[in-house]
Amino acid sequence: NGITALLRPGDEECFFDESGTGEEIHGTFSVTHGESPVNVKIFNPSDLVVLDLIDTMEDAYTFMALQDGYYTVCFKSNSNELQTIEFSLHIGDDVTVKNVMKEDHLTPISNSVNTLKRGVNELNEQTKYHRNRLIRHKKTTQSTGSRITWWSLTQAFVLIALSLTQTWIIKNLFEKKRNV
Protein backbone atom coordinates (compact mmCIF):
# COMPACT_ATOMS: atom_id res chain seq x y z
CA ASN A 1 0.00 0.00 0.00
CA GLY A 2 1.64 3.17 -1.19
CA ILE A 3 0.99 6.71 -0.04
CA THR A 4 1.38 9.78 -2.20
CA ALA A 5 2.26 13.00 -0.41
CA LEU A 6 2.30 16.54 -1.75
CA LEU A 7 5.20 18.71 -0.59
CA ARG A 8 4.94 22.46 -0.97
CA PRO A 9 8.17 24.48 -1.39
CA GLY A 10 10.21 24.38 1.83
CA ASP A 11 7.50 22.35 3.58
CA GLU A 12 7.89 19.21 5.71
CA GLU A 13 5.35 16.37 5.89
CA CYS A 14 5.51 13.62 8.50
CA PHE A 15 3.80 10.23 8.74
CA PHE A 16 3.91 7.66 11.51
CA ASP A 17 3.10 4.05 12.24
CA GLU A 18 3.31 1.88 15.32
CA SER A 19 5.95 -0.80 15.76
CA GLY A 20 6.92 -3.24 18.47
CA THR A 21 10.41 -3.96 19.75
CA GLY A 22 12.31 -6.29 17.42
CA GLU A 23 10.02 -5.76 14.43
CA GLU A 24 11.62 -4.99 11.12
CA ILE A 25 10.70 -1.67 9.51
CA HIS A 26 11.11 -1.42 5.77
CA GLY A 27 10.25 1.50 3.54
CA THR A 28 10.78 2.84 0.07
CA PHE A 29 10.18 6.28 -1.39
CA SER A 30 10.72 8.23 -4.59
CA VAL A 31 10.10 11.77 -5.77
CA THR A 32 7.55 11.35 -8.57
CA HIS A 33 7.01 15.00 -9.49
CA GLY A 34 9.68 17.66 -9.22
CA GLU A 35 13.35 17.77 -10.05
CA SER A 36 14.81 18.60 -6.63
CA PRO A 37 15.88 16.01 -4.06
CA VAL A 38 14.32 15.83 -0.61
CA ASN A 39 15.62 15.24 2.92
CA VAL A 40 14.21 12.27 4.81
CA LYS A 41 14.40 11.77 8.57
CA ILE A 42 13.06 8.86 10.58
CA PHE A 43 12.48 9.30 14.31
CA ASN A 44 11.98 6.63 16.96
CA PRO A 45 9.29 6.90 19.70
CA SER A 46 11.76 8.88 21.85
CA ASP A 47 12.09 11.47 19.04
CA LEU A 48 15.69 10.49 18.31
CA VAL A 49 16.82 10.36 14.67
CA VAL A 50 17.13 6.77 13.46
CA LEU A 51 17.96 7.60 9.83
CA ASP A 52 18.84 10.85 8.09
CA LEU A 53 18.97 10.85 4.28
CA ILE A 54 20.00 14.16 2.72
CA ASP A 55 19.32 15.28 -0.87
CA THR A 56 17.95 12.06 -2.30
CA MET A 57 15.39 11.40 -5.04
CA GLU A 58 14.62 7.81 -4.05
CA ASP A 59 15.82 5.21 -1.63
CA ALA A 60 14.90 2.18 0.46
CA TYR A 61 15.65 1.49 4.11
CA THR A 62 15.32 -1.38 6.55
CA PHE A 63 16.03 -1.42 10.28
CA MET A 64 14.90 -3.12 13.47
CA ALA A 65 12.72 -1.30 15.99
CA LEU A 66 14.55 -1.05 19.30
CA GLN A 67 11.52 0.08 21.28
CA ASP A 68 7.73 -0.02 21.16
CA GLY A 69 5.89 3.01 19.88
CA TYR A 70 5.31 5.23 16.89
CA TYR A 71 8.09 5.65 14.33
CA THR A 72 7.84 8.86 12.31
CA VAL A 73 9.01 9.41 8.73
CA CYS A 74 9.43 13.05 7.67
CA PHE A 75 10.02 14.36 4.13
CA LYS A 76 11.36 17.90 3.72
CA SER A 77 11.27 19.74 0.43
CA ASN A 78 14.32 21.76 -0.66
CA SER A 79 12.60 22.85 -3.84
CA ASN A 80 10.91 26.04 -5.02
CA GLU A 81 8.17 24.00 -6.71
CA LEU A 82 5.49 21.53 -5.67
CA GLN A 83 6.74 17.97 -5.34
CA THR A 84 4.99 14.65 -4.94
CA ILE A 85 6.50 11.72 -3.12
CA GLU A 86 5.28 8.15 -3.25
CA PHE A 87 6.31 5.96 -0.36
CA SER A 88 5.41 2.75 1.38
CA LEU A 89 6.09 1.61 4.91
CA HIS A 90 5.96 -2.01 6.02
CA ILE A 91 6.37 -3.11 9.62
CA GLY A 92 6.86 -6.53 11.19
CA ASP A 93 5.57 -9.64 9.45
CA ASP A 94 4.24 -7.43 6.69
CA VAL A 95 7.86 -7.07 5.51
CA THR A 96 8.32 -10.82 5.25
CA VAL A 97 5.13 -11.38 3.33
CA LYS A 98 5.43 -8.43 0.93
CA ASN A 99 9.12 -7.97 0.26
CA VAL A 100 11.48 -10.75 1.28
CA MET A 101 10.09 -14.21 0.63
CA LYS A 102 9.08 -15.62 -2.68
CA GLU A 103 6.02 -17.81 -3.01
CA ASP A 104 8.02 -21.04 -3.47
CA HIS A 105 9.86 -20.48 -0.14
CA LEU A 106 6.67 -20.77 1.86
CA THR A 107 5.24 -24.06 3.04
CA PRO A 108 1.47 -24.52 3.34
CA ILE A 109 1.74 -24.08 7.10
CA SER A 110 3.74 -20.87 6.66
CA ASN A 111 1.11 -19.64 4.23
CA SER A 112 -1.59 -20.36 6.80
CA VAL A 113 0.38 -18.65 9.56
CA ASN A 114 0.98 -15.61 7.36
CA THR A 115 -2.71 -15.50 6.44
CA LEU A 116 -3.60 -15.58 10.14
CA LYS A 117 -1.05 -12.87 10.91
CA ARG A 118 -2.47 -10.67 8.14
CA GLY A 119 -5.94 -11.25 9.58
CA VAL A 120 -4.79 -10.34 13.09
CA ASN A 121 -3.00 -7.25 11.76
CA GLU A 122 -6.14 -6.22 9.88
CA LEU A 123 -8.19 -6.78 13.03
CA ASN A 124 -5.73 -4.65 15.02
CA GLU A 125 -5.97 -1.86 12.42
CA GLN A 126 -9.77 -1.99 12.51
CA THR A 127 -9.69 -1.95 16.32
CA LYS A 128 -7.42 1.12 16.32
CA TYR A 129 -9.70 2.83 13.80
CA HIS A 130 -12.84 2.14 15.81
CA ARG A 131 -11.14 3.09 19.10
CA ASN A 132 -10.09 6.44 17.63
CA ARG A 133 -13.55 6.91 16.16
CA LEU A 134 -15.14 6.10 19.54
CA ILE A 135 -12.89 8.65 21.27
CA ARG A 136 -13.76 11.29 18.68
CA HIS A 137 -17.50 10.60 19.03
CA LYS A 138 -17.24 10.61 22.83
CA LYS A 139 -15.68 14.09 22.72
CA THR A 140 -18.44 15.26 20.38
CA THR A 141 -21.13 13.82 22.65
CA GLN A 142 -19.60 15.41 25.75
CA SER A 143 -19.32 18.75 24.00
CA THR A 144 -22.92 18.55 22.79
CA GLY A 145 -24.14 17.54 26.26
CA SER A 146 -22.31 20.46 27.81
CA ARG A 147 -23.79 22.89 25.29
CA ILE A 148 -27.29 21.52 25.88
CA THR A 149 -26.86 21.92 29.65
CA TRP A 150 -25.69 25.53 29.35
CA TRP A 151 -28.42 26.35 26.82
CA SER A 152 -31.08 24.85 29.13
CA LEU A 153 -29.76 26.81 32.13
CA THR A 154 -29.76 30.01 30.06
CA GLN A 155 -33.34 29.38 28.92
CA ALA A 156 -34.44 28.69 32.50
CA PHE A 157 -32.77 31.90 33.71
CA VAL A 158 -34.41 33.94 30.93
CA LEU A 159 -37.85 32.42 31.68
CA ILE A 160 -37.50 33.14 35.42
CA ALA A 161 -36.35 36.70 34.67
CA LEU A 162 -39.29 37.22 32.30
CA SER A 163 -41.74 35.81 34.86
CA LEU A 164 -40.42 38.09 37.59
CA THR A 165 -40.48 41.08 35.24
CA GLN A 166 -44.07 40.39 34.16
CA THR A 167 -45.15 39.90 37.79
CA TRP A 168 -43.52 43.18 38.77
CA ILE A 169 -45.14 45.05 35.83
CA ILE A 170 -48.61 43.67 36.61
CA LYS A 171 -48.17 44.41 40.32
CA ASN A 172 -47.14 47.99 39.52
CA LEU A 173 -50.18 48.46 37.26
CA PHE A 174 -52.52 47.51 40.10
CA GLU A 175 -50.67 49.70 42.61
CA LYS A 176 -51.00 52.78 40.36
CA LYS A 177 -54.78 52.29 40.11
CA ARG A 178 -55.10 52.30 43.91
CA ASN A 179 -53.33 55.62 44.15
CA VAL A 180 -55.76 57.33 41.76
- CA-CA distance, 13 to 72, in Å (whole number)? 10
Q: Shortest CA distance to 87 belongs to which of 38, 26, 30?
A: 30
Per residue in 94-131, pLDDT (tens digit) is 444 444 444 555 577 777 877 888 788 778 778 877 88
∠ Cα 116 122 124 (to 5°) = 105
Q: In terms of C-beta density within 10 A (0-12 exposed, 13-18 middle, 19 or more buried), how is residue 59 classed?
A: middle
Tell me whether strands 69-77 and 12-19 are parallel, antiparallel or unpaired. antiparallel
pLDDT of residue 46: 94
- The predicted pLDDT at position 95 comes to 46
Q: How far apart are CA 156 and CA 60, in angstroms?
A: 65
So what's the pLDDT on residue 100?
Answer: 43
Residues 6+ apart with CB under 8 A from 3: 15, 86, 87, 88, 89
CA–CA separation, 59 and 144 (whole Å): 48
How far is residue 94's CA from residue 100's CA, in Å, rounded to a whole number? Answer: 10
Low-confidence stretches of the chain (pLDDT < 50) are: 94-102
pLDDT of residue 145: 95
Report yes or no: 24 and 64 within 8 Å, Cβ to Cβ: yes
> Is the overall model pTM greater than 0.95, yes or no?
no
Between CA 123 and CA 104 the distance in angstroms is: 27
